[in-house]
Amino acid sequence: MAEEASKRIHFPIHSLIDVIKARRQGLEIAIAMGFPQAEANKVAVVISELGRNIELYAGEGSITLTTYTGRGGYIEVVAEDRGPGIPDLDLVLDGGYTTSNGLGLGISGSRRLMDEFEIQSTVGQGTKIRALKRLR
């Protein structure tokens, strides 16, 4: 019987370098868990997109990766900040909303790449996003 384990790694995000470190480590973890390369890449993209949003809009925050390697294994990405919040979640989730020069597809694209996706945001208080990819 395979040993089951849950692991949590926390990445403070203050700069683009922190985002790159979190993305790289998330990719390595997903591959080590047995995710196919394409699925591991999706996890890495989500870490990058959510981390970049923290860096761009909030200035600082965190990404926490939680893994479970037992039956029904998964990797969970939680991005949190205390930034300005998102005034119109529906518009953001539909894609196309941006306050920068981007395409506005970071959050909506991340949602499409993962198996589960939840977002909580309060204007003036910050945002928390939880995204989960199941190991199949």
| CATH code of the domain containing 94 | 3.30.565.10
Give residue 128's domain range. 6-134
In a domain, 1, yes or no: no
| pLDDT for 98 | 58
How many domains would you assign to the chain?
Answer: 1
| pLDDT for 97 | 57
pTM to 2 decimal places:
0.89
| pLDDT for 91 | 81
In a domain, 12, yes or no: yes
| pLDDT for 23 | 98
- Condensed to tens digits (0 to 9), the pLDDT of residues 44-79 reads 999 999 999 999 999 999 999 999 998 889 999 999
In a domain, 58, yes or no: yes
Give the strands of the sheet with 126-134, arranged side by side.
6-13, 61-68, 74-81, 126-134, 116-122
In a domain, 80, yes or no: yes
**β-bridge pairing 116-122 and 74-81:** unpaired
Is the pLDDT at 96 greater than 70? The verdict is no
